């Protein structure tokens, strides 16, 4: 039954995957689309922390696709080996340890004032100009924060956004045609070259930015090579820009369409931090991730063979009623939101989670500080380009009364 229901390509699923997820969760695991699909919270979590599953699946699928297309793309193969998200131990352990030089709590929290400033500036402008909230606010904020972290001029934002949008398609090799692949490959080379242009000078005159901190300090036993730093920059944008964009747009839509919940935030009954967790649970910006079984085993009663693909539905796990009370209810005050798997779990749990949460929190804090009324002007459109990201293509908010509210609370 589940096999028939599960079609992640369908319009209906994209508009509302949760009805399908609820049906799928009746079976702890099942085979569909040539994979083993896992939807319940305990089983998804168990696979994420199980070392018998490899994260190197996507590069393998990409290589397979390149062979099919008769293409040779050395940088793509390197991306597979160097990108932290696709590596297994011991390579992954080394990359993760080195990444902590800049992805540590103190370093990430130091970006909060910049994140808050960006949120204020973009909300101010949106209040004056209105239009599409995604294009004007949720898209530029994460791009600019990452640029600022890397000490790269905001003037490069559109170039970086376009290259990043192309390169992100490597995460979904199954939906890319040969022509698109050639274009995506070209974008990857340009993206790497762009960062290489910053890595070399920072090696000579280091600052306290993302790139300088990742470069091996003089005399260090182990450190990222300049080339690895360039790949790390690509990875930060690929992993952190469109996901956070999705989170910010969805957040405003959810709050606008649940006035009583938004009221709790405005009145201070729930904090921005609490609200952020529920938003991440309710609409996980990254709905799915994949693993490759390294040996024969059993997952939730289903026999999985070595080299089989396993699809982990994070969005479905976040609505598992055995873990979250009234799971399909958006409730900012609930006590169990933090158990969400929106940032994954285990060894590969999101390195940028604090950064993404921070950007949402400062945006929510600005809404509260200025007591901005939220209302949507027309039903939002969910993006259709990516199968794994859940975010809005556009969001039109009614900003008629915003300017007065902003004047009042400036």
Q: Which residues of this chain interact with ligand HEM, rule CB under 6 A?
A: 55, 84-85, 96, 146, 235-236, 239-240, 243-244, 247, 285-286, 289, 314, 342-344, 348, 350-352, 355-356
Shortest CB 234 distance to ligand HEM, Å? 11
| DSSP codes of every residue in 151-211 | T--GGGHHHHHHHHHHHGGGG-GGG--HHHHHHHHHHHHHHHHHHHHHHHHHHHS--SSHH
- CA nearest 85: which of 289, 286, 386, 226? 289
Q: Between residues 285 and 380, which has the closer beta carbon with respect to ligand HEM? A: 285
Q: Between residues 58 and 327, which has the closer beta carbon with respect to ligand HEM? A: 58
Residue nearest to ligand HEM (CB): 352
Q: Between residues 17 and 406, which has the closer beta carbon with respect to ligand HEM? A: 17
Q: Between residues 250 and 399, which has the closer beta carbon with respect to ligand HEM? A: 250
Contacts of 373 (CB under 8 A, 6+ apart): 398, 401, 402, 405
Q: Between residues 215 and 314, which has the closer beta carbon with respect to ligand HEM? A: 314
Shortest CB 54 distance to ligand HEM, Å? 11
Shortest CB 344 distance to ligand HEM, Å? 3
Give the pairing of strands 309-313 and 35-38: parallel
Q: Between residues 237 and 402, which has the closer beta carbon with respect to ligand HEM? A: 237
Shortest CB 376 distance to ligand HEM, Å? 21
Q: Between residues 123 and 313, which has the closer beta carbon with respect to ligand HEM? A: 313
Q: What's the rounded Cα separation, in Å, for the pair 93 and 348? A: 10
Identify whether 71 is preceded by a cis peptide bond (ω within 30 of 0): no
- Residue 138 is classified by DSSP as I
What is the 3-state secondary structure of 314-378?
HHHHCCCCCCCCCCCCCCCCCCCHHHCCCCCCHHHCCCCHHHHHHHHHHHHHHHHHCCCCCCECC
Report the Cα 78 to chain-centroid distance in Å: 22
Q: What's the rounded Cα separation, in Å, for the pair 148 and 154? A: 7
Q: What's the rounded Cα separation, in Å, for the pair 337 and 277? A: 6
Count of Cβ atoms closer than 10 Å to residue 93 Cβ: 12
Contacts of 379 (CB under 8 A, 6+ apart): none
Shortest CB 244 distance to ligand HEM, Å? 4
Q: Between residues 387 and 405, which has the closer beta carbon with respect to ligand HEM? A: 387
Q: What's the rounded Cα separation, in Å, for the pair 400 and 128? A: 9
Shortest CB 3 distance to ligand HEM, Å? 24
Shortest CB 318 distance to ligand HEM, Å? 11
Asked whether the beta carbons of 313 and 38 are under 8 A apart, the reply is yes
Count of Cβ atoms closer than 10 Å to residue 294 Cβ: 15
Q: Between residues 286 and 372, which has the closer beta carbon with respect to ligand HEM? A: 286
């Amino acid at each position: 039954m589940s096999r028939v229901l599960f079609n992640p390509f369908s319009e209906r699923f994209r508009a509302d995957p949760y009805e399908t997820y609820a049906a799928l969760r009746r079976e702890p695991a099942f085979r569909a689309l040539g994979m083993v699909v896992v939807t319940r919270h305990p089983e998804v979590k168990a696979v994420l922390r199980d070392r018998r599953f490899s994260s190197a699946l996507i590069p393998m699928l990409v290589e397979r696709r390149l062979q099919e297309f008769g293409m040779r793309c050395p940088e793509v193969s390197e991306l597979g080996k160097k990108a932290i998200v696709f590596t297994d131990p011991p390579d992954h352990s080394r990359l993760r340890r080195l990444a902590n030089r800049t992805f540590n709590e103190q370093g990430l929290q130091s970006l909060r004032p910049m994140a808050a400033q960006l949120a204020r500036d973009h909300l101010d402008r949106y209040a004056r100009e209105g239009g599409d909230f995604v294009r004007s606010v949720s898209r530029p904020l994460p791009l600019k924060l990452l640029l600022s972290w890397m000490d790269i001029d905001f003037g490069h934002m559109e170039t970086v956004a376009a290259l990043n949008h192309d390169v992100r398609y490597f995460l979904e090799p199954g939906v890319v045609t040969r022509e698109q692949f050639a274009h995506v490959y070209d974008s990857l080379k340009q993206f790497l070259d762009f960062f290489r242009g910053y890595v070399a000078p920072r090696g000579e005159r280091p600052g306290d930015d993302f790139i300088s901190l990742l470069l091996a300090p003089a005399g260090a036993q182990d450190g990222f090579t300049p080339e690895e730093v360039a790949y790390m920059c690509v990875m930060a944008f690929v992993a952190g820009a469109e996901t956070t964009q999705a989170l910010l747009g969805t957040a405003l839509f959810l709050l606008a369409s649940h006035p009583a919940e938004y009221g709790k935030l405005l009145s201070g009954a729930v904090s921005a931090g609490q609200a952020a967790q529920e938003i991440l649970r309710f609409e996980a910006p990254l709905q799915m991730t994949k693993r490759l079984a390294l040996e024969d085993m059993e997952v939730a009663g289903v026999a999985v063979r070595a080299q089989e693909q396993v699809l982990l539905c994070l969005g479905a796990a976040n609505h598992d009623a055995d873990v979250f009370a009234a799971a399909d209810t958006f409730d900012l005050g609930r006590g169990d939101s933090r158990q969400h798997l929106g940032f994954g779990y285990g060894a590969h749990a999101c390195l940028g989670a604090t950064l993404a949460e921070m950007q949402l929190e400062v945006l929510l804090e600005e809404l509260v500080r200025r007591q901005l009324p939220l209302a949507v002007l027309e039903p939002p459109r969910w993006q259709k380009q990516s199968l794994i990201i859940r975010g809005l293509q556009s969001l039109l908010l009614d900003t008629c009364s915003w300017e007065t509210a902003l004047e009042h609370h400036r």
